[in-house]
Amino acid sequence: MCCAFIWGRTSVSQPIEVPWDQLQTDTLQALVEEFVTREGTDYGAEEVALTDKVQQVIRGIQQGLYVILYDPDLDSVHIITARDWQGSGF
């Protein structure tokens, strides 16, 4: 069994990439909404409406800029850039 350091912790299991197009629309919407509100604060130059942020992330997922990952150790879902995922070694 191999261990990797990802998201600031030691992970025993490999994260699983979740194909966005196999999720129901409302599930994808809820997942992305939770992701964009996770930090709770927006430090951008201009305030962006939640619906706009969600649509931006969904478009990024559809364009392959972001990937959805399931972490079996934490039983949680993460969205990261495709570049970070490719560079993670998994």
pTM (2 d.p.): 0.77
pLDDT tens digits for 21-75? 999 999 999 999 999 888 665 666 778 888 999 999 999 999 999 999 999 988 9
Q: Considering only the top CATH level, what class is 15-86?
A: mainly alpha
Which residue do the tokens 């969600």 mark? 54
CA distance 65 to 48: 20
Q: Where are the domains of the chain?
A: 15-86
The type of residue at 30 is A
